[in-house]
């Protein structure tokens, strides 16, 4: 349950954060129930319709009505029923903010922004956040990352023979998970950029967490510091293009940081898949191995649905698919729920930390989606999706393998993705099939044949 009521009494329901057009959105719901058909959390908690967007909007509208409706105007505001507010808080935090409800909403309600604007009001009242989510501001404010790792270890995953510059026009922003928990992804990215002769820099100690978890859970206090710091660090290095292999980071850097940063941001944010597609199309990538797998792609919400309005559908959905299509020997298969109608893995919106059972249930459903199309490997461009889907895969007993797109690409290019020894080796989130500290088992790849490469 959310926090008890003692410290919330008399506090207003809305204390800022909600735009006037968002208050209008509460009245725009036609109750068509379309969102209920698609909500990934309702698919798991089928006995809790109140967690679906339609019900949450109705409840928020009722709470608003009790404070600012006609009755309140004529006869005075009723005291907020704290049980109802707590219930609403529970329902609001049982959401991964994946945004599929917004994609299917007949009224065009921007639900992701709506949930993320409602949550800070609940935090200010003392109702939110949920469970372990309340540690995020403390962890980020103190250590600048959610894993309690040392900032000076930010580049500990970079192999000694890799070339990373102090400053360059291109920067790679790995994010906390690739730096401390899924270092193969970081190594693979660095290796690929080196192999393609792309001079790039990284922020190292100057890289602070993108603070996505804070925005998603409505805890905006530390957010400004992180946004300002990271943007300034990029500017100091003269960066013109920032590459991201983390969906959560690029979402936050593209949409949230500019809202906080009071100044001109001179660089552009580019998903690594977009950059790699360009290199593949230009014939700059040399494949050494072939992937003998039936592969499917899980669209991350953050770099897909969330970004499609900002960067367009091609960058959001087609670029990663084009990269997979170029993998030699890979048999690509699409899941029925894909692109803007994709099923969320369940990790976002603070649900992984706050309601782990719900996150696991969503992940298991996504694994079943992959199995239904006969895929024996699922891949994505989001470390957080990967972590959760691997958990779902393990708990459901599925044999499906999971690897990040960049890791697969590095292996197919014949690059060494071995992580150098570092203090975080024991925390690595390995997929079972990646057991030998390599991305894909040796038997999964074979030397590439000319026929494997499209267009050759």
Partner 1 sequence: MAFYTLGLTFSIMIALTVAVLAIWIYGLYFNFKKWGMGSTGYQDELRNSFWLFIATWIHEAFKDGIWVFIRTLILDVFLLRRTLRRSPVRWVMHMTMFYGFLTLATLSGLGMFMDVIEHFNILGLAEGAEMVKHLSQLPFDLFGYLLLFGATIAVLRRLILKDVRDGTSAYDAVLIGGVFLITITGFYAEWLRGNAFLVGDAFANSIYAPHFSLIHTILALALFAVILPWSKYLHIIAAPLTILANRGGE
- Binding residues for partner 1 restricted to 76-105, rule: CB under 8 A: 102-105
Q: Which of 11, 49, 150, 394 binds partner 1 (CB under 8 A)?
A: 49
Q: How many CA atoms lie within 13 A of 358 on its CB side?
A: 27
Residues 6+ apart with CB under 8 A from 350: 93, 129, 130, 133, 136, 213, 216, 217
Angstrom distance (rounded) from CA 88 to CA 424: 39
Q: What is the dihedral of CA 166, 167, 171, 172, to 10 degrees?
A: 0
Secondary structure of residue 172 in the 3-state scheme: strand
Asked if residue 109 binds partner 1 (CB under 8 A), the reply is yes
Report DSSP letters for 365-410, one per residue: HHHHHHHHTT-SEEEES-HHHHHHHHHHHHHHT---EEEEHHHHHH
Angstrom distance (rounded) from CA 172 to CA 317: 21
What is the pattern of x (binds partner 1, CB under 8 A) and - over residues 3-42?
A: -----------xxxxxxxxxxxx-xxxxxxxx-xx-----
> Interacting stretch for partner 1, rule CB under 8 A, among 68-76, 193-201, 374-382, 442-450?
68-76
Is 71 or 268 the residue whose CB approaches partner 1 more closely? 71
- Binding residues for partner 1 restricted to 219-278, rule: CB under 8 A: 220, 259-260
User: Whole-number minimum distance, CB 23 to partner 1, in Å?
Assistant: 4
Q: Which residues pair with 184 in a beta bridge?
A: none
User: Whole-number minimum distance, CB 211 to partner 1, in Å?
Assistant: 13
Q: Determine phi and psi for 95, rounding to 5 degrees.
A: -135, 135
Is 64 or 198 the residue whose CB approaches partner 1 more closely? 64
Kindly state the number of chain residues that form the binding site for partner 1, as judged by CB under 8 A: 42
Is 49 or 414 the residue whose CB approaches partner 1 more closely? 49
> Interacting stretch for partner 1, rule CB under 8 A, among 64-72, 141-149, 266-274, 343-351?
64-72
Q: Which of 1, 6, 47, 73 binds partner 1 (CB under 8 A)?
A: 73
Asked if residue 106 binds partner 1 (CB under 8 A), the reply is yes
CB of 64 closer than 8 Å to CB of 70: no
CB of 117 closer than 8 Å to CB of 256: no
Binding site for partner 1 (CB under 8 A): 14-25, 27-34, 36-37, 49, 54, 64, 68-70, 73, 102-110, 220, 259-260, 309
């Amino acid at each position: 349950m959310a926090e008890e009521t003692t410290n919330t009494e008399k506090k207003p329901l809305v204390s800022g954060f909600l735009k006037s057009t968002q208050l209008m959105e509460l009245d725009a719901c036609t109750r068509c129930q379309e969102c209920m058909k698609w909500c990934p959390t309702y698919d798991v908690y089928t006995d809790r319709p109140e967690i679906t967007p339609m019900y949450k909007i109705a409840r928020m509208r009722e709470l608003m009505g009790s404070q600012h409706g006609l009755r309140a105007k004529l006869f005075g505001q009723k005291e907020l029923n704290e049980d109802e507010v707590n219930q609403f808080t529970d329902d609001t935090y049982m959401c991964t903010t994946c945004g599929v409800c917004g994609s299917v909403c007949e009224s065009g309600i921007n639900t992701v922004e709506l949930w993320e604007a409602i949550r800070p009001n609940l935090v200010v009242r003392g109702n939110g956040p949920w469970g372990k989510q309340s540690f995020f501001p403390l962890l980020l404010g103190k250590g600048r990352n959610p894993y309690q790792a040392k900032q000076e270890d930010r580049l500990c995953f970079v192999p000694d023979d890799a070339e990373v510059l102090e400053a360059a026009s291109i920067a790679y922003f790995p994010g906390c998970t690739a730096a401390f928990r899924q270092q193969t992804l970081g190594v693979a990215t660095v290796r690929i950029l080196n192999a393609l002769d792309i001079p790039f820099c990284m922020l190292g100690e100057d890289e602070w967490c993108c603070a996505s978890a804070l925005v998603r859970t409505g805890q905006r206090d530390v957010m400004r510091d992180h946004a300002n710091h990271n943007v300034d660090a990029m500017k100091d290095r003269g960066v013109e293009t920032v590459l991201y292999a983390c969906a959560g980071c690029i979402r936050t850097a593209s949409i949230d940081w500019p809202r906080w940063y009071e100044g001109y941001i001179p660089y552009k944010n580019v998903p690594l898949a977009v950059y790699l597609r360009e290199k593949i199309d230009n014939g700059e990538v040399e494949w050494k191995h072939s992937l003998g797998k039936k592969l499917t792609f899980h669209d991350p919400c953050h770099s897909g649905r969330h970004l499609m309005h900002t960067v367009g559908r091609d960058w959001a959905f087609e670029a990663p698919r084009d990269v997979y299509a170029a993998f030699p020997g890979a048999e690509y298969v699409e899941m029925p729920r894909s692109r803007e109608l994709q099923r969320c893995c369940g990790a976002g919106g603070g649900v992984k930390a706050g309601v782990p059972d719900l996150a696991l249930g969503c992940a298991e459903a996504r694994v079943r989606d992959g199995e239904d199309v006969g895929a024996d490997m699922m891949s994505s461009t989001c470390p957080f999706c990967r972590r959760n889907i691997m958990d779902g895969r393990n708990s459901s007993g599925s044999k499906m393998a999971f690897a990040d797109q960049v890791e697969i690409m590095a292996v197919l290019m014949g690059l060494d993705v071995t992580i150098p020894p570092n203090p975080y080796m024991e925390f690595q989130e390995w997929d079972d099939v990646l057991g030998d500290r390599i991305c894909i088992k040796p038997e999964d790849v074979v030397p590439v044949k000319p026929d494997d490469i499209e267009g050759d």
